Structure formats: C-alpha cells, structure tokens
Structure 1
Amino acid sequence: MLLILCVDLDDDLGRKTGIKTPVIGRQAVERAALSLAIADPTDSDGNVMFQGLQLYEKTLPDPVEIAVVTGSARGDTAAGRKVGAETEEVLNRMFSGEKVRTVVVTDGAQDESVMPIIRSRVEISGVHRVVVRQAEGLESAYYTVKQFV
C-alpha cells in the first residue's frame, strides 16, 4: 500500500485552523486543505495538501491512503518528535498487514529535515517538493512601469 504523507513541520494547519492532527483519509485531507486555504491563502502548506490529493487521485485504483502530519512551531526537536509520533499513529491506524511505503510531500528543505525520522518508521519511495509559483515581483514591476507610461 502507498501512503501519501503531507508534512507541515511548523503546524500551520493546527495553529491557523484548530484542526487536530494527524488528518487521515481523502475527504478529511481535502477539508483540512480547504480550511487552511481559507484561513491563510498565502500559506504553502495548503498547496502541499492539494499536491498530495492530486497524487492520491493519480495513484487510484491502486491501494493508497493519504494523511497530513504536523510538527510544532516551537522548533526542530519538538517538531521532529511530533512528526514521528503522528507518522506512527497514521501507520498504526491504517495497518492492513501489507507492506506500506510512502511518498512524502513537503514545501521545502526545512520540512525535509524530518526525512530521517519518517524513514525510521516507513520506507520512503519518493519525495515531492511543492514550489508555489509567484509572480508578485513581475506583476508589481508591470504596474509601476504602466503608471509612468
């Protein structure tokens, strides 16, 4: 079975929406992603969850599950421990007797710092880093130039 594991190292999901983690299952992850996008449209962790949902849909009809685990805004050690504990909880709740491997979805290098913690609990078969395209600088320059023309 494949587990799509979305990682929010600094717990933006919990802090901004009050949603308790881990979040497990397609519908629950979709609700969490929408809640975070509404609470803070600029937070890239929402895009991480949407990317995870896209990977989930592409994997069907093969056996697949999706979950979101979070860390803590307090720092790397606390965040790493929480990600590890939540990953274990996800694995325990989805245990079907078959081997589980995971694709980890993150929004950057900081989230990827917990890869060894995740790897110690489950085989990682892939990593997807979400990069949100931002044209703000170009857009601002365009309107500045337009004002002078």
Structure 2
Amino acid sequence: MASSVICTTCNQLIRRGIDLCRLYRHAALAVSEPGLRAVLDEDAQALAAMVVELQHEVTLAGGVPRMHGSWRAALRCRLVDGMARTAARRDSAWIHALAQDESGLLRAFERAIAGLPEDSAKVLRRQLPRLRGIHLDMHSLAGPAHS
C-alpha cells in the first residue's frame, strides 16, 4: 500500500514537474534578456533533474513512472506566450507566470510531504532544496519585474 501511495504521489508531482520544465524551456527561448535566459535554462535543468530522480524512485517502488506531462502544459505555454507578446514588458510577463506555477509546484510538494508517512516523505524532502532554490530565483526576479 505504501509503495502504491508513493508511486501515485510521485507521478502526480512528476507530471507537474514536466509541465513546469516545459514552460521554463519555452520561456527561456521567448525572453529577450540573455541573463534571464541563462537563469531560466538553469532552472529548467534543475526541474528536469528532479523529475528524473522522482521517476527513478517510482521505478524503485515497483511502479511505472510518468514520462510525459499533461496536455494543459502546451495550452499554458500558448496562453502565456500570447499574453507576453501583448505585454509592454514581455520578460516580466514570463517571470510572473513562472513564479506563479513554480509556487504551485512547491506547495504541491509540501502538501504531499505532509500527507505521506515519514519514511515515504523522505523521497520528496530531498527535492525541497532544489525547488526552494528555483523559488528564490523566480521571486527575486519577480520583485524587480513588478517595479
């Protein structure tokens, strides 16, 4: 039962991680500031590494890891891209969208950790520093973006 719960939980987080990674990669191509592109690319790589680690954990628990995100990710990319193209400050629009989605992923991890038994939650807890690093990146960028 415990491995089934961890597989289901991890697969939900994997899907969200893949979706967010896809948005980061799209944003890295769409923004105009080269330094911002580098930060977004780094964060996309960190998310991809997190996804790979979670997929490995699902496999170790005897499950089949998710390998793809949701159809909503493609829709979200198009939506944010459209909003950014019409915004006066395109890069700021991307930062705002990424910060919002990244906060959602971090909250999903925290809720999952709170709902799992301690031994199962260790798998997710190991990912928190990486997610918090991305969180700090986005929110430090979002501060100046809104000024």
Alignment TM class, shorter chain as reference? 0.3 to 0.5
TM-score normalised to the size of structure 2?
Answer: 0.35
Structure number with higher strand proportion: 1
TM-score, scaled relative to structure 1 = 0.35
Q: Give the number of the structure whose residues are more often helix, by fraction.
A: 2
